[in-house]
């Protein structure tokens, strides 16, 4: 279905066209002053500006067109249309519009019957086929536990993949693990130095390597920081790590076998972590997945003169005349022969274009990597590797602790995602108990509710902040059942579920929603905006727009619920309409929360 704003813009656009003006001036928006009108159109001002600014009319002053005069002509046409209950002009020429209840009722009925529940079709191309987006997010690193930096990428990326799919896109999500860089060589050399598994380093070894990993995830978590500290302190030690990286990439069998163990051991933990977050990926690729594509890419870049040697390294210069700050070249191969993060990212573009031919590739990665993506994108475009894809770095700010520094454990260590989820779930359980919620449920159900509420606490806190800003993670504030929080919205949805359950027990059926009071009008107007909100959230890659919407919907529902009888309404028709409205609010609320990756418990 077309959104209400789109339908209104078309109507008002025709009125402009009938006055000989472009129908694009008919763009309608939600009113800035809901006390005066539901909608407004500012096109008369733009139209006057356009007419007065035309070179042909650039003559003497006095011949100027007054925006109010245009607004009056357009308004006169709109007044004849029965969908409008109110058309008037404010200030210099704003057209204020309100719809008749009958018109709104018609729209809300269409929404209730729409199988897509008002979702826009921004992902469809002209032939009605879904456009393709690759979304690269998560990005955990092998041999390191996921920390809160990866949390933001996972939560925001997952919200975008859900939203894109709801809007009609075909999405390919890729976790793109960090599994091919220097940190792998640091680990391998550390294991050699500590003599942990000599067989992988024995040049005389023949036959297969052991199936069982010589190191556990716990071992890796100790070994990696040790290796990295040693490399920082000692240039020779770093050199050994570099050599190990080059040998790994060149295919030395013992190193590859060891590396596979690292990957497998880490993946067990990652799978658990992503499952508890409710985040799924289509592809579990990593930097190493494009290993075979790198040599032909390097040949191609060299042959076409796009890559050149600079200080012993192979680089692609990407600086442009207009750069305010100098952008260093993208380094493809270092002097000792190892490939880098940018090399794998560039080759990954080639592979994604070859496999999926996407229209968009989004990278949901910390905004501090902006320079890296700028280099990679420029190199890709220079070489024409991007196909028809738009490349976009969807950056985000840092999740900080109360001290304004990146979120840490109490002891000052890196906060692991697993522990953060544990903390949030524990806090949810405590609050639920405090409110006496679920006292008579089974332990298993109570634990499941706490899990859902804990995850909702973290996700809503993260998504409700404007993506690019840093924010302070305040568990106390984000876990309350009052205010703009995940738990509050879950609670609001559960309350509606319980009304509908009681109604079903009483044999009362939900009917078609319709306006009988100001509270219902307001709620219905908000419901009718859902498609535009999903469009705006997609366009800005802006989950916080969905969060705002869900919060406002809960508040508008609360006002409606506080002002009217529902189950106890004696008039059967009115009761049915109100139950129908409850059902529609629940459907839109549940879908919006689902886009945020938040599950609604059956009861709480
Ligand atoms: N592994 C990287 C990190 O931890 C993030 C990967 C992001 N994706 C990409 N294609 N570069 O910073």
pLDDT tens by residue, 35-57: 999 999 999 999 999 998 876 55
Sort 236 into a burial class: Cβ within 10 Å, 0-12 / 13-18 / 19+: exposed
CA of 363 to the centre of ligand 1 (A): 9
**Hey, what are 218's tokens?**
């716990």
Q: Is 80 exceeded by the pLDDT of residue 411?
A: no
Q: Is 70 exceeded by the pLDDT of residue 404?
A: yes
- The arithmetic mean of pLDDT across residues 449-472, rounded, is 96
Q: For residue 171, what are the β-bridge partners? A: 133
Q: Is 60 exceeded by the pLDDT of residue 61?
A: no
Give the separation between CA 14 and CA 26, rounded to whole angstroms.
7
Confidence band for 408, pLDDT divided at 50, 70 and 90: confident
Q: What is the pLDDT of residue 412?
A: 76
Q: Is 60 exceeded by the pLDDT of residue 60?
A: no
Ligand 1 atom with the smallest distance to the CA of 178 is 1
CA of 177 to the centre of ligand 1 (A): 7
> pTM for the whole thing?
0.95
* 557/54: higher pLDDT: 557
Interval 310-319: pLDDT, tens = 999 999 999 9
**Hey, what are 388's tokens?**
């028809």
The pLDDT > 90 percentage for the chain reads 91
Nearest CA among 52, 43, 53, 3 for reference residue 19: 43
CA of 341 to the centre of ligand 1 (A): 8
Q: What is the pLDDT of residue 63?
A: 64
Q: Is 70 exceeded by the pLDDT of residue 58?
A: no
* 18/406: higher pLDDT: 18
Interval 424-447: pLDDT, tens = 999 999 999 999 999 999 999 999
Q: Is 80 exceeded by the pLDDT of residue 23?
A: yes
Confidence band for 64, pLDDT divided at 50, 70 and 90: confident
The pLDDT > 70 percentage for the chain reads 99
Query: Mean pLDDT, the chain, as a whole number?
Result: 95
Give the DSSP letter of residue 314: E
Q: Is 70 exceeded by the pLDDT of residue 59?
A: no
- The arithmetic mean of pLDDT across residues 399-403, rounded, is 88
**Hey, what are 12's tokens?**
């008002």
Rg, Å, the chain Cα set: 29
530-539 helix and 148-166 helix, angle to the nearest 10 degrees: 130
Confidence band for 230, pLDDT divided at 50, 70 and 90: very high
Give the separation between CA 602 and CA 587, rounded to whole angstroms.
14
Interval 489-522: pLDDT, tens = 999 999 999 999 999 999 999 999 999 999 999 9
Q: Which of 147, 154, 176 to mutate to test the pocket of ligand 1 (most atoms within 8 A of CB)?
A: 176
Q: Is 90 exceeded by the pLDDT of residue 149?
A: no
The three-state secondary structure class of 333 is strand
Nearest CA among 293, 186, 261, 265 for reference residue 231: 186
> Which letter, b or e, does each residue of 357-384 get, where b requires 16 or more Cβ atoms within 10 Å of its Cβ?
ebbbbbbbbbbebeebbebbbbbbebbe
Residue located nearest, by CA, to atom 3 of ligand 1: 139
What is the secondary structure of 423-446 as a DSSP string?
HHHHHHHHHHHHTTTTTTS-HHHH
Q: Which of 365, 371, 392, 396 to mutate to test the pocket of ligand 1 (most atoms within 8 A of CB)?
A: 365
Q: Is 70 exceeded by the pLDDT of residue 7?
A: yes
E strands, 446-543, where? Answer: 471-472
Residue located nearest, by CA, to atom 11 of ligand 1: 345
CA of 325 to the centre of ligand 1 (A): 24
Q: Which of 140, 178, 342, 414 to mutate to test the pocket of ligand 1 (most atoms within 8 A of CB)?
A: 178
Q: What is the pLDDT of residue 553?
A: 98
Ligand 1 atom with the smallest distance to the CA of 366 is 12
Q: Which of 139, 173, 175, 184 to mutate to test the pocket of ligand 1 (most atoms within 8 A of CB)?
A: 139
Confidence band for 481, pLDDT divided at 50, 70 and 90: very high
Q: What is the pLDDT of residue 403?
A: 87
Residue located nearest, by CA, to atom 7 of ligand 1: 139
Q: Is 60 exceeded by the pLDDT of residue 119?
A: yes
CA of 554 to the centre of ligand 1 (A): 36
Interval 344-379: pLDDT, tens = 999 999 999 999 999 999 999 999 999 999 999 999
Residue located nearest, by CA, to atom 6 of ligand 1: 139
CB-based pocket (< 6 A), ligand 1: 136, 139, 141, 176, 178, 345, 363, 365
């Amino acid at each position: 279905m077309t959104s209400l704003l789109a339908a209104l813009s078309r109507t008002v656009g025709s009125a402009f066209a009938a006055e000989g003006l472009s129908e694009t001036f008919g763009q309608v928006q939600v009113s800035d002053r809901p006390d005066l009108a539901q909608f407004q159109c500012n096109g008369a001002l733009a139209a006057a500006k356009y007419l007065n600014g035309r070179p042909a009319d650039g003559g003497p002053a006095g011949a100027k067109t007054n925006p109010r005069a245009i607004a009056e002509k357009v308004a006169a046409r709109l007044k004849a249309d029965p969908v409008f209950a109110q058309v008037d002009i404010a200030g210099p020429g704003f057209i204020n519009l309100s719809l008749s209840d009958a018109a709104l009722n018609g729209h809300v009925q269409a929404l209730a019957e729409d199988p897509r529940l008002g979702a826009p079709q921004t992902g469809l191309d002209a032939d009605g086929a879904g456009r393709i987006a690759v979304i690269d997010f998560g990005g955990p690193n092998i041999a390191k536990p996921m920390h809160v930096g990866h949390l933001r990428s996972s939560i925001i990326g997952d919200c975008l993949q859900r939203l894109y799919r709801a809007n009609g896109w075909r999405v390919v999500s890729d976790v793109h693990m960090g599994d091919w860089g220097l940190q792998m060589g640091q680990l391998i050399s550390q294991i050699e130095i500590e003599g942990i598994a000599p067989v992988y380093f024995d040049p005389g070894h023949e036959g297969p390597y052991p199936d069982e990993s010589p190191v556990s995830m716990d071992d890796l978590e100790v070994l990696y920081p040790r290796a990295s500290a040693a490399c920082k302190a000692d240039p020779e030690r770093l050199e050994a790590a570099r050599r190990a990286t080059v040998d790994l990439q060149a295919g030395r069998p013992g190193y590859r076998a060891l590396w596979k163990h690292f990957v497998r051991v880490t993946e067990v933990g990652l799978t658990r972590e992503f499952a508890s977050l409710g985040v799924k990926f289509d592809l579990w690729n990593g930097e190493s997945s494009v290993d075979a594509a790198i040599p032909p890419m390097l040949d191609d870049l060299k042959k076409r003169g796009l890559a050149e040697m600079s200080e012993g390294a192979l680089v692609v210069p990407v600086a442009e005349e207009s750069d305010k700050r100098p952008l260093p070249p993208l380094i493809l191969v270092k002097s000792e022969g190892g490939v880098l993060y940018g090399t794998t990212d560039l080759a990954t573009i080639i592979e994604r274009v070859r496999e999926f031919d996407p229209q968009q590739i989004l990278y949901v990665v910390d905004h501090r990597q902006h320079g890296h993506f700028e280099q990679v994108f420029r190199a890709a475009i220079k070489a024409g590797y991007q196909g028809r894809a738009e490349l976009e770095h969807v950056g985000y700010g840092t999740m900080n602790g109360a001290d304004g520094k990146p979120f840490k454990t109490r002891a000052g260590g890196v906060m692991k995602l697993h522990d953060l989820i544990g903390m949030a779930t524990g806090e949810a359980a405590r609050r639920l108990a405090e409110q006496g919620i679920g006292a008579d449920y089974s332990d298993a159900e109570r634990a499941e509710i706490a899990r859902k509420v804990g995850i909702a606490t973290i996700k809503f806190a993260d998504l409700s902040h404007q993506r690019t800003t840093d924010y302070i993670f305040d568990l106390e504030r984000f876990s309350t059942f009052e205010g703009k929080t995940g738990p509050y919205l879950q609670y609001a949805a559960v309350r509606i579920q319980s009304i509908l359950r009681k109604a079903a027990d009483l044999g009362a059926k939900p009917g078609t929603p319709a306006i009988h009071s100001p509270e219902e009008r307001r709620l219905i107007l908000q419901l009718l905006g859902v498609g535009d909100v999903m469009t705006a959230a997609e366009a800005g890659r802006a989950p916080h727009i969905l969060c705002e919407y869900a919060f406002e919907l809960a508040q508008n529902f609360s006002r409606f619920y506080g002002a009217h009888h529902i189950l106890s309404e004696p008039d059967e028709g009115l009761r049915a309409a109100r139950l129908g409205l409850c059902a529609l609010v629940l459907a839109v609320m549940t879908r919006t929360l689902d886009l945020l990756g938040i599950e609604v418990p059956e009861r709480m």
